[in-house]
Every structure is written in structure tokens, then in C-alpha cells.
Amino acid sequence: MNLQVVGCSYHSTSIAVREKLAFNGQQTAEALDRWREGFPQVEGVLLSTCNRVELYMAGEQGLPGSREVAAFLAGFHQLSAEEVAPHLTVQTGRQAVRHLFTVASSLDSMVVGETQIVWQVKEAYRLASERRTAGPLTHAAFQTALMVARRVATETGIHQRRVSVPSVAVADFARQIFERFDDKHAVVIGAGEMAEETLRYLREEGTRHITIVNRRLERAEELARRWEGKAVGWDQLTEALATADLVISTTGAELPIVTLESFRQIERLRHSRPLLVLDLAVPRDFEPAIAQLPDVYLYSIDDLKTACQRNLHDRQQQVPAALAIIEDETERFLAEWRHRATAPVIEQLRRNWENIQQEELRRLFNKLPELNERQREEICRCFDRVLGKLMHPPLESLREHSRHGFPGALLDALSKLFQLKD
């Protein structure tokens, strides 16, 4: 049984190359169909994210090499194999198993501890199962990988500290000011990627009343529909700020959109209600002097980045414990994998001994025709126990040797001792 992964990742391949090789959901399904047609004897799972494109393969016999995989990936994207091959790395056996477990547990991610990757691994495995390119070997590997990811998540603190600026803004800084969010009015200024990620965290914290302000109203309306908020035009920014409890600003404006002078006018409408402003924009959207006003808590992206770096450091402290889990589970999986390879020899040994058992039982019952049904059952159970005890030592020896490598010599010895045929 062989397991191999061929692919590229952010570690050594530029985004310019990765984006050429990337697969969306529909393309992944089509690629798996082509894989099944081209390599019907080889199981395959294709994992494609913004940081990696990796093909996991497994089979009883030999597997395609990196050149064949390069030709397959390149052909799908109308690229030449020569253009793709230099960027692909190959990991086999133990390396491949450990790599899969490390990826699923987010230890190989650009941001260690990010939670999206486990969903991506699960989705890649689901799609391969649906397209019938996953089989017993990849089933075992990916199901174990997801179990390892759960162990890492529950037994270490690697996911507990948030490290993205929007997540820290909401979960760390805003939580210092507000005990609850369901009764707060949050205003998000801007409608780009940063704003959308912020909206996700606001919803996770239970925020119900969200207003999105953007120069392009249609973009604000699109986000509002997706996150169940309210969209308003740029001309209503003052009104939105006057009723806000929390403001998160993410625009790309070159100059502050709220100056000290303009905020003084807003302040009169607020009647001394406290306001938290998380300015995630570069350049800053809120003039720094606003922070000196009473009842205003203003933080810039630099303040948040410091917290992100501190949280990332805390995550890094959890890496050794997570790696220990991965090493433990890798050895356990490989031992079970190698032990599984002994199944044909074990089955043949068991079958031979069961045939002998049945032959001797028939002989015995023929000599003792006066036995009733209950006595016959008791004798059969006795023979079964003897067979089980005879099988136990060779099974344990095979399992023990499988922990340290494939027990080929022991299998050969058993085959010769008991005259097992291929």
C-alpha cells in the first residue's frame, strides 16, 4: 500500500504560479473525473486553496510520478508540463501522512491555527468521495487527518487566540468595552474584504443592528443583504455615527474621512454616549486627535497589529504540543496501515486452521453420534477458543513488528512455516 502527495504551496511557489494551477469547486470535480478515467487503479484527492494545490494519491501498486502528475495538472489548465514540473514537490509514505495531518491541523498554514483549512480538507475529501476517486486507503488517511485536527484543536490552545486584524478588533478590543453586542449599533464604513470579514465576526458575537456606509451604495447594499444589515449612502455618515456604539472603518481614503472638527459636530448629537472606534484603514480614517475626547475609545490598525502579533506568539507556543500529537498519530496510523497489509497472510493462516478445525470436528462427531446439540455446541466453542489462542501470538508479533516497519521478514517466515501459498 502506497500513499503519496504531489503539489506546491506558498512555502516555495509564488502566487503567480499557484493561481495558474488553482482549481475552483467545479474544476476540481472535472479534474477528479479525468483522474478516474486516466488512473482508474489510483485513488486521488485534490486539495486546492489560495496557499496550495496538492494531489493526494494512494494505491496497492506503483503510483504516478511527479512528471505524470505535472502533465495531468498542466493539461487541465492548458499549460505545458515543463512549466509546471519544477514547482512540484513529492512526499511519500510517512512524509506524506505527516504532511496531510499537519495541513489538516493548520500547522502548515500561512497563519498557524487558522480554522478554514480543516473545512477545505474535509470538502476536498467529500468531493473525491462523491466523484469516486477516494477509496479505502484515502478514506483511512483523510478520516484520520480530520480526527487529528480535532485532537489538536481540543488538546492545545492553537485556535484560541485570534490573529487577523478584524477578528482581534471585534473579539479582543470591542470585548474590552462591551459585555454584550446584541443591543449595540455597529457601523461599518467601507465595503471591501476587510469590511466583510469584520461583519462576519460582528455576527458571530451576536450583533443585530449593523449599518454599512460606503461611497458606492450598491456595494454596501450587497453586503447588507449578505449579512442582514442596513446600507446607507455616504451622505448619511454623520447620522450613522451619531447613533453608533461601535464604529469599524476600513476605507481606502487618502485623507481622514472624520476630522476632529467634524467629529465635534457629531459629538453634540451623541449626548455623551461612549463610542468605540476601530480604525483599520491605512491611511487612518479618523483623525488621531479624536482619541483625546471624553467617551471616545479610538484604536488604530497599529494598536491591533500589536495584539495580533502577541496572539500569534501565543499560538506559536502551542506548536510543539500540536506537533507531538501529529507525530503520535502518524506513527499510530502507519503501524495500523502496515498491519493492514498483513491481512492476506493472516486470513490465509486462519482459513487453513479453520479447515483443519472443521475436519477434526466432523471426525469427532462421527465417532460420538450420541452427543446432543448442546454438547456439540460446547465442543465447537472449545475448538474456537483453542483456535483463537493459537492465532493470538502470530497476530501480536505482526502488530508489534508493524510499529517499527513493514514486517516482511516475519510474513515470509510465517508463510514458510505454515506452507501458505500465494
User: Which of 8, 50, 308, 380 is the catalytic position?
Assistant: 50
Task: Give the Cα separation of 326 and 151 in Å (integer).
Answer: 9
User: Angle, nearest 10°, between helix axes 66-76 and 25-38?
Assistant: 130
Task: Give the Cα separation of 199 and 191 in Å (integer).
Answer: 10
Task: Give the Cα separation of 52 and 124 in Å (integer).
Answer: 12
Written as nine digits, the cell of 79 is 499549460
The answer to whether the peptide bond before residue 86 is cis (omega within 30 degrees of 0) is no
Task: Give the Cα separation of 100 and 121 in Å (integer).
Answer: 9
Task: Give the Cα separation of 211 and 194 in Å (integer).
Answer: 15
Torsional sign, CA 126, 132, 135, 138: negative
Three-state secondary structure string covering 311-371? HHHHHHHHHHHHHHHHHHHHHHHHHHHHHHHCHHHHHHHHHHHHHHHHHHHHHHHHHCCCC
What SS3 class is residue 254?
Answer: coil
Task: Give the Cα separation of 276 and 301 in Å (integer).
Answer: 14
CA–chain centroid gap for 69, Å, is 23
Does 8 participate in catalysis according to the annotation? Answer: no
User: Angle, nearest 10°, between helix axes 136-155 and 93-104?
Assistant: 50
**CB atoms closer than 10 angstroms to residue 72:** 20
Q: How many residues does the chain have?
A: 422
Nearest alpha-carbon partner for 198 in 249, 256, 253: 249
Secondary structure (DSSP) of 25-65: HHHHHHHHHHHHHH-TTSEEEEEE-SSEEEEEEEESS----
Opening angle at CA 342, ends 339 and 343, nearest 5 = 100
CA–chain centroid gap for 353, Å, is 46
Strands 52-59 and 185-189: unpaired
Active site residues: 50
